[in-house]
Structure 1
Amino acid sequence: MNRIIQHPILGDFGDRTRIFFQFDGIRYEAYENETIAAALLANGIRKLRVHEDSGTPRGVYCNIGHCLECRVTVNEQSNVRACLTLVEKDMVIESGKQHPNIVRRMVEKP
């Protein structure tokens, strides 16, 4: 696991309750009051979605809610920012899905 367990400012993770969540159908461990982004990174997950046009992988970039690169689907609600949302027990998270570009489809119509 890729997590700092003892931190001089954030404290000791050993005092927090472990919880479990799903990401793309696989069960992972997190700690209470941890963001989805932190929990995914700690579990080795770097790809959170794909770019709408190019299909290239996207992950946590700014980690402060400005860039929107970390959008995931949480309990069937799409476009949730993983860096700002706390993970909850039994939460079901799915990687952001590549949606077709509506403008491109309108231009390509004969």
Structure 2
Amino acid sequence: MPNASPFERLPCRPQATVTVFVEDTPIEVSQHDSAAAAVLAAGLLPSRTTPASEAPRAPYCLMGVCFECLIEIDGAPNQQGCMIPVREGMRIRRQCGARDMHGEDHHGVA
């Protein structure tokens, strides 16, 4: 997935990286990034759509207040990506529309 995002990192000392999978594409991110920062670095915009109108949304405040960063992490929907640190092998996916909260596995898959 090419980095077509307007998201740019500030210059800093080199840091250790981890590989996460954003929409099944591996990307290297800083080990100190949040899942929402990984989404922005990958250019995954929008990162979700709203349940009612399917309006596009993306991480906004990055401090846990606005809930615009809801994404699916390792199969679990409705994760607040800005509050979850990345880890090696993490799988991040867009969250589009309403989720089935009553499915058999409780992860949006019946």
TM-score range, shorter chain: 0.7 to 0.9
Q: Cα distance, 1:63 vs. partner? A: 1.4
Partner of residue 34, structure 1: 33
Identity of aligned residues (%): 24
RMSD over aligned CA atoms reads 1.8
Partner of residue 107, structure 1: none
In 1, the alpha carbon distance for the partners of 2:99 and 2:54 equals 10
One-letter amino acid of the counterpart of residue 87, structure 1: V
TM-score by length of 1: 0.75
**Paired residue total:** 94
Structure 1's consecutive aligned runs of 4 or more residues displaced over 2 angstroms after TM superposition are 42-46
- Pick the structure with greater CA Rg: 1
Partner of residue 85, structure 2: 86
5+ long unaligned stretches in structure 1: 7-11, 102-110
In proportion to residue count, which structure has more strand? 1
In proportion to residue count, which structure has more helix? 1
Matched, 1:4 2:3: no
The superposition leaves residues 21-54 of structure 1 with CA deviations (integer Å, 9 ceiling, x where unpaired) of 1111211111112111122222323311001111
